[in-house]
Structure 1
Amino acid sequence: MTQTINLDNPAYYNNRELSWLAFNERVLEEAVDPYNPLLERLKFLAIFSANLDEFYMVRVAGLKDQVKAGFNKPENKARLTPKQQLEAIGEKTRRLTEAQEKLFENELMPALKDEQIEFLSVHELDHAQLSFVEAHFQNYIFPVVTPMAVDTARPFPLLLSKSLNLAVTLTDESTQAPLLAIVQVPRVLARVIELPHRPSEGRRFMLLEDVITYFAAELFPGYTVASASTFRITRNADLSLDEEDARDLLRDIEKELEKRKWGAAVRLEVSGSQMDEGMLHYLIDVLDVAREDVYSFSAPLDFTFLFSLYEQLAPGAEHLVNEALIPQSSKDLPASEDLFQTMTNGDILLHHPYESFHPVLDLLSQAASDPDVLAIKQTLYRVADDSPIIESLLQAAENGKEVTVLVEIKARFDEENNIQWAKTLEKAGVHVIYGFPGLKTHSKITLIVRHEKSGLRRYMHFGTGNYNEKTAKLYTDTSLLTTNRAFGEDATHFFNYLSGFSFKPAWQEFAAAPGELRHTFITWIDKEIEMHRTQGNGWIQAKMNSLTDKTLIMKLFEASQAGVKIDLLVRGICCLRPGIEGVSENIHVRSIVDRFLEHSRLFYFHQNGSPRYFLSSADWMTRNMEKRIELLVPVYDMRAQKKIDDILRLAFTDNVKARVQQPDGRYTYTDQAGTTVQSQLELYALTVPFRGEAED
């Protein structure tokens, strides 16, 4: 008698938060990798820090709120309580940040010095450099810095989240009484200061906080500076909105954004080489931070300053950065034809950033000025600061077209930017809508309605990524350009559903969340299971950012148990553990961390050699299935399907930047036996015109 396996066993799952930390560890590995150019390694160190900041501001803050509220129910996969998760997060974070610090001090700084690039302390400056620093302090820093006294009349100041600060202990020269002051390192000033140097000596730098520390006495005449210690606070940044009662959502979000700056402290970072125990105890007490949330470093706090260092050094140090991969014009888009004409000849799939995002921008620009275009409808989740897409929408409205835009003003950390765009669009006469209470509109879709001789034709763009031309150079995403009639009817119903009182339509081709998207994926997995039972060749490939939805994970376990081969490319969080006998031995999970952020969501079901292809805005996360408005769109064009095949084939054969998840949840590099494949470079090579053509 066959024993039934309990697929609810927590041993078959990774905790969501610890899986995210495992992803950030893979980012840190790119900083460790000596095969990466030096400045790229420094940039990965900065990315690791920026990622960790957001993780603490949102995920750790949420867990702390649960503990404070007395919530102790385990999460539904690895069965860890909020308190257990926080303990495991703290232990893992401490190990990772210690490794980060050692890497910076013991490898990367010496490597920079070998390249004649050096950070100096004040005591290492020569006379000319010291004079420069003193003048820089007097002319640029002193007028901006504000020393804040702390005493019975002046309480400890409210300090911005992620701001860098100095805790300064003073002695009154007349009374010898000890005093305390706080100096916030100005964020409006460049943190990396380049020092004068002779060309033969290389380049020399100092950090802004070191300059302020050295000249701290200038800020407190009549007092003796006993010590100055650097510290940094990370605060809870999660918004708390009651959308059902919010009459003015824009106003309510603006209020919450102000609160975000002053949320409860969830992490305190201190410079251990400077701070005495008494000052540390005081900060812990006044900020109401638990001792386990204090992280002490001998290296500089907040490695995100390495982003600006990269920008300063990269132009003159080509050997220290990756060779630029310039987005190429798509071979499927003839330069001589306009986009409307090209799209009527067949669907086009673009793969960014290997292929340029400009056709998407050009489509909006062309539609804005084309007299035959009657209407433009679009969803916007994250938009660049100076977006040409916004300019096209404004131009279209000015030209008298019907323009409707759903602006998602709840997109985390883009709320303020999106609110400003929403107001700008409304003033120009654009119909701006804000979606549904309790849901984020995460779908990426544009619908253009054009009057032609044959009648009205609908032109569409569907994307896996945002309408943001800047991130389109950094994230791997796909764009589908199509005039498919059924897609057009579904798109029209979709926008009516977003803007009106219509019920969710019965789609012809789409699947949407919330509602049927999870069911659609389950249906296709079931179809693959049934096909495998009759044909023995079941095969599923899926590429996404994160996999957390337990219902989908258990369905994948079921497919694996039936013998279906399942290849998953999950860049970040993956709560599924592969390779467990009797449960997931037919599931293979890999993650690629390379120069571009893997972001596209692509899905393939073999179906006995008559495969079905899909692209989506949604990851396989519970929030995408239940709390967001998402779209899943089939891909029928054979050229587009071939492009998806290439993306998946190269990703699943990458043995340079891919890590494979083991049954215990650990990630290890792949075996490099045979030919090495770095999928991102190979995918770029597919877009570059054959160089031999000009020679033949």
Structure 2
Amino acid sequence: MTENKVKIGSVENTEIEGVIDLNDSALYFNRELSLLEFNDRVLAQAKNENLPLLERLNYLCISCSNLDEFYEVRVASVIQLASLDPLATMCDGLNAQEQLDAIAPKAHELVSEQYRVLNELLIPQLAEQNIRFIRRHDWTDRQQQWLKTFFQEELLPILTPVGLDSAHPFPRILNKSLNFIISLTGKDAFGRNSGRAILQAPRALPRIVQLPSDETESGEYDFVFLSSIIHAFVDQLFNGMSVKCCHQFRVTRNSDLFVDDDAIDDLLNAVEGELAMRNYGDEVRLEIDANCSEGTVQFLAERFGITQGQVFLVDGPVNLNRVQEISSLVDRPDLKFAPYQPSTPAALSRNKNFFDAIKKQDILLHHPYESFVPVIEFVRQAAADPNVLAIKQTLYRTSADSPIVNALLKAARAGKEVTVVIELRARFDEKANITLAAKLQDAAVHVVYGVVGYKTHAKMCLVIRKEGKKFRDYVHLGTGNYHPNTARFYTDYGLFTSNNELGEDVRKIFWQLTSLGKVIKLNKLLQSPFTLHKGLLDKIEREIDLAKKGRPAKIIFKVNSVVEEKIMQALYRASQADVEVKLIVRGICSLRPGIKGVSDNIEVRSIIGRFLEHTRVYMFTNDGHPEVYAASADIMNRNMFRRVEACFPIENKALKARVLADLDLYLKDNAGSWIMQSDGSYVQSVPEGEACQAQVALMEQFSAK
């Protein structure tokens, strides 16, 4: 066999007899590094001078909370893999330790940039707008006196320092809590001189304190960090002793719940048991004041079993994401996005009876450009309609006081058959979902926790209505959660339909979730974990066959993540067959575009804007008869094989044309888009001529007049 070397990025790939091995690890980018790249793009919004100042501060905080979750979940899982199976590799070829070694410098670079943006850009620019963070050395006498009183009256009674000695071992530190390590000299009342103490700030305390202008002669928007107040007056906690130094620190822990699907009898009890331990999982990151001595940093790192790569020395508050509180404290509309009023489709706004409107035609909602209120009203009308006999709904995440839940409760109390499938393991919403389940059960709602081993991630609501002598199914299918709050800033599609075949499909999926039985054949829906993966692969292969026959062939996917290996390989084969492949991927993408002979015909772009891109759309040209699907699933192993997902067709010609036009708009975006390079990095688009920003154009198109 003859061998030729083909360079892929900075890695050489072996091509044997002209055929490139699509299993070659050089063709794939590490998913963890890709997620850090996404966070870079979010942080770039904080540096964008064209955005309102307080919104830029919000983007900074979002990048920090994203990084928290990255360490709590992703890094934690890689650390676990390193101990359980150190030689295991992903499609990119990196084992767990190699991934950790690659993550550390990138994460440190990101954190350094976050604090540079805060200290050198945002704080000075906020000060120019008379929004000030007053540091300790700049406090006036009146501010100092007020803060001292505030400390003595509001903080001192609830603070509990722990001196470290044989009778007082190092305390258990809560996940992501604000803590202080204090160095002391002198002896206490019992003659002890341990030299160190730990102080944990109660979570109920505000992390930012607004100075009252009338009492301190401060400006209207002058603020002080809680950490600064504690630093300034911490000596009052140690009577007769001297505080040498006091430094804030924060520990991030593994927060991913582990529930052994093979060893549980009651999923609810198992999840509740794991939740109790979330605050005390294994340590995965230590953030500490950059002014802390090397000896103290080493002491904490050893105490937590943290490696050097997991220690972050920071120039500012360790809980930087809590700075987001400023946005709600400052009443400056000129420094925020202008309020946006979404519209309601004419078919619903002019017809008071939603069932009549949906019976006439399918109705598509595009949130947040179009209001989420019709989804709530759909369930409300179902609850109040005497002809509605049953309602079935999935709930993955919803708001604490959800109007949809209230409507379901009303329906159950009215004697309707109400079934709700609640996913208890929706990450970080587990506790809320347990409370929700109990609330629904108290009202005689049939509550099911899905299928053990498979998260129920599909977004479905089925209303069964008696019309004359027949039953008719009314369905809502969506790409996003039934959460009124996130629907205001997550982009998602929702489809109302009374199509008989789709209604039958949704009923069958609910049967699968609530009962036992074999896989049921569906009419139109593609469903994970049974038919979605194969269905997408078959449709990609169809485009490949069309291209080989000289027919126009094109694929457009708009998703949040692309990491599933078989689909990535299929897209590579499509590119090699001259199929035009356009991927609009908000976050993680392990596929590398622009590699000669492999992905020349693939473009990957990410849209970052005012709203979080969340729609999942799959489009295939199908020889001039385009097929468009919307879904709850991304191109990830978990979505394809370990979750219950629903992928539904948009068949109405007008609605399909709308979605195609939306996709075209995203592909034309040259002001809010980032183009992925073959090395995994992204380059921000720069308008040449007229600027096009998809989110802005959609806001203008749908804004309520």
TM-score (norm 2): 0.95
Residue 694 of structure 1 corresponds to none
Secondary structure in 2 matching 1:243:
coil
AA of the residue aligned to 1:194: Q
Cα distance in 2 between the residues matched to 1:138 and 1:78: 56
Secondary structure in 2 matching 1:633:
strand
Matched, 1:3 2:12: no
> 1:414 Cα shift?
0.6
Residue 450 of structure 1 corresponds to 465
Residue 270 of structure 2 corresponds to 252
Residue 359 of structure 1 corresponds to 374
Q: Deviations over 1:98-140 (max 9, x none)?
A: 1111111111111111111111123312222222212211221
Matched, 1:138 2:152: yes
Matched, 1:289 2:306: yes
Mapping 1:239-388, distance limit 5 Å: 239-273=257-291, 275-313=292-330, 316-388=331-403
AA of the residue aligned to 1:183: L
AA of the residue aligned to 1:559: A
Mapping 1:591-610, distance limit 5 Å: 591-610=606-625
% identical aligned pairs: 39
> 1:662 Cα shift?
1.3
Secondary structure in 1 matching 2:623:
helix
Computed over aligned residues only, the root mean square deviation of the Cα atoms, in angstroms, reads 1.5
Secondary structure in 1 matching 2:252:
strand
Decide whether the 8 Å contact of 2:559 with 2:635 is kept in 1.
yes
Residue 114 of structure 2 corresponds to 100
Residue 65 of structure 1 corresponds to 80
Matched, 1:150 2:164: yes
Matched, 1:437 2:452: yes
Residue 237 of structure 2 corresponds to 219
> 1:178 Cα shift?
4.6
Task: Find 1:162's aligned residue among 176, 183, 187.
Answer: 176
> 1:179 Cα shift?
2.3
Deviates more, 1:177-186 or 1:110-119: 177-186
Cα distance in 2 between the residues matched to 1:392 and 1:319: 37
Mapping 1:503-514, distance limit 5 Å: 503-514=518-529
Decide whether the 8 Å contact of 1:129 with 1:196 is kept in 2.
no
Deviates more, 1:602-611 or 1:368-377: 602-611
Cα distance in 1 between the residues matched to 2:418 and 2:121: 54
Secondary structure in 2 matching 1:205:
strand
Decide whether the 8 Å contact of 2:212 with 2:220 is kept in 1.
no
Task: Find 1:611's aligned residue among 626, 636, 642.
Answer: 626
> 1:173 Cα shift?
4.7
Q: Deviations over 1:345-393 (max 9, x none)?
A: 1000100000000000000111111111000001110111111111111
Cα distance in 1 between the residues matched to 2:633 and 2:147: 51
Deviates more, 1:182-191 or 1:584-593: 182-191
Secondary structure in 2 matching 1:652:
helix
Q: Which runs of 4+ in 1 moved over 6 A?
A: none
Mapping 1:44-63, distance limit 5 Å: 44-63=59-78
Cα distance in 2 between the residues matched to 1:490 and 1:451: 18
Decide whether the 8 Å contact of 1:379 with 1:407 is kept in 2.
yes
Decide whether the 8 Å contact of 2:267 with 2:452 is kept in 1.
no
Cα distance in 2 between the residues matched to 1:629 and 1:407: 12
Residue 203 of structure 2 corresponds to 187
Deviates more, 1:162-171 or 1:326-335: 326-335
Decide whether the 8 Å contact of 1:662 with 1:668 is kept in 2.
yes
Decide whether the 8 Å contact of 1:544 with 1:599 is kept in 2.
yes
Distance 1:368 1:176, change over 3 A: closer
Residue 495 of structure 2 corresponds to 480
Task: Find 2:130's aligned residue among 94, 98, 116.
Answer: 116
AA of the residue aligned to 2:198: I
Decide whether the 8 Å contact of 2:287 with 2:314 is kept in 1.
yes
Deviates more, 1:9-18 or 1:263-272: 9-18
Decide whether the 8 Å contact of 1:450 with 1:458 is kept in 2.
yes
Q: Deviations over 1:372-427 (max 9, x none)?
A: 10000011101111111111111111000001111000111111110111111111
Matched, 1:206 2:224: yes
> 1:201 Cα shift?
4.1
TM-score (norm 1): 0.96
AA of the residue aligned to 1:284: A
Cα distance in 1 between the residues matched to 2:485 and 2:67: 22
Cα distance in 1 between the residues matched to 2:373 and 2:343: 10
> 1:333 Cα shift?
2.2
Distance 1:172 1:336, change over 3 A: same
Cα distance in 2 between the residues matched to 1:200 and 1:142: 24
Cα distance in 2 between the residues matched to 1:389 and 1:138: 45
Mapping 1:409-558, distance limit 5 Å: 409-453=424-468, 455-558=470-573
Secondary structure in 2 matching 1:531:
helix
